[in-house]
Amino acid sequence: MIPHSKPTLNKEDALAVEDVINSGYISQGIIIDRFENEMAGYIGVKGGVAVSSGTAALHLSLIALGIKEGDDIAMPSFVCPALLNAAKYIHANPLLIDINPLSYNIDVADLKKKLTHKTKAIIVPHAFGLPSDIEDIMNIGISVIEDCAQSVGATYKGRQAGSFGNCAIFSFYSTKVMTTGEGGMVLSNSDTLLNRVRDLREYDHKAEYVMRYNYKMTDMQGALGLSQLKRLNSFILKRRNIANVYNERFSELGVAIPSVPPERGHIYFRYVIRNRRQKTEDRRQKLEEDLKFFEANGIKCMRPVYKPIHKYLNIKGFQETDKAWNELISIPIYPSLSDSDVKDICEAVRRWRETGY
């Protein structure tokens, strides 16, 4: 079985972690300082703060931006519940936005239509590794958190995703673009925001009490992150090379391929294909059968988003999100796929295409 996702690890990664263990200093320390500085340098911003997860990064970013109980936070519905959780942690209200049907990113027209005087922040994921319409969103004039959990290394007009917003958050979970096992980071050009996040991530040895958190990252994780960061560009190149094979083969098969505007550098964290059955109810009923078809052919595929937020909250009115949820199949794409694996995946898609998808 070819897994849907898999970390790309090597001996250098293991040795980097081993060096930290042998040093005897395994909690947050100088390795984390290096990791923060090198990540900030890669993205092209002033600094970063490493934390225990992408969700922790988002939580602390919202507090540092001054988002309060009762404020609205705009976010797309077609995402994992981490965004909803972060809003709920501070008792803010999620303002759900539909997606653009071509990019699967937040729809700017729907965003502008739904904004209210209570909207104090916009969380902007770059879905599946494709940058969002970030310049248009920045021009709205509301605080923006770029969610780069799936897009480290992606570019918009030559600039790194994560360098546009008031801050950006990253996730280094085991199957993300680069990994520290668990972990995340906040990056920003604002010293004030970074210092606030840095203060909030740990609670001890403080002169005054405010509610703070235990959101630190260890030097063991930081060492793995530094090792992975050295190879990040090679990871992205491999993803793009695989995507090029998929694009060529699937175009021949008549399968829709991702739409990528020329000014955007897609890193293909996810590669999605669409179930195009004619009737909506057929697509909804058959998607699970499609996933079972691929599994029977030795390929583990998944929905790219397990369940949209509006489904959890029982809210209607998200036409494009519903279509994407009913139609999209995420197929394996990661650097450790072999040429033989890629060939087998293409062959499985060919057989799936012949079933009358």
Cα 137 to the chain's mean position, in Å? 18
Determine the average pLDDT of the residues in 5-30.
98
Least Cα distance to 61 among 42, 78, 86 occurs for 86
Q: Which fold has domain 11-230?
A: Aspartate Aminotransferase; domain 2 (3.40.640)
pLDDT of residue 355: 84
Would you say residue 149 has pLDDT above 60?
yes
Distance CA 170, CA 163 (A): 12
Would you say residue 278 has pLDDT above 60?
no
Q: What are phi and psi of 308, to 5 degrees?
A: -65, 155
pLDDT single digits (tens) 174-189: 999 999 999 999 999 9
Of the pLDDT bands very low, low, confident and very high (cuts 50, 70, 90), residue 36 is: very high
Cross-strand pairs, 75? 96
- Sign for the CA dihedral angle at 267, 272, 273, 276 comes to negative
Residue environment code for 311-327, b if the CB has 16+ CB neighbours within 10 A, otherwise e: beeeeeebebbbbbbbb
Query: What are the sequence ranges of the domains in the chain?
Result: 11-230, 232-354
Predicted structure pTM score: 0.96
**Cβ neighbours of residue 91 closer than 8 Å, sequence gap 6 or more:** 69, 70
- DSSP, collapsed to helix, strand or coil, labels residue 75 as strand
Determine the average pLDDT of the residues in 320-342.
97
Q: Which fold has domain 232-354?
A: Aspartate Aminotransferase, domain 1 (3.90.1150)
Of the pLDDT bands very low, low, confident and very high (cuts 50, 70, 90), residue 357 is: low
Least Cα distance to 63 among 177, 201, 173, 170 occurs for 201
pLDDT single digits (tens) 56-70: 999 999 999 999 999
pLDDT of residue 188: 98
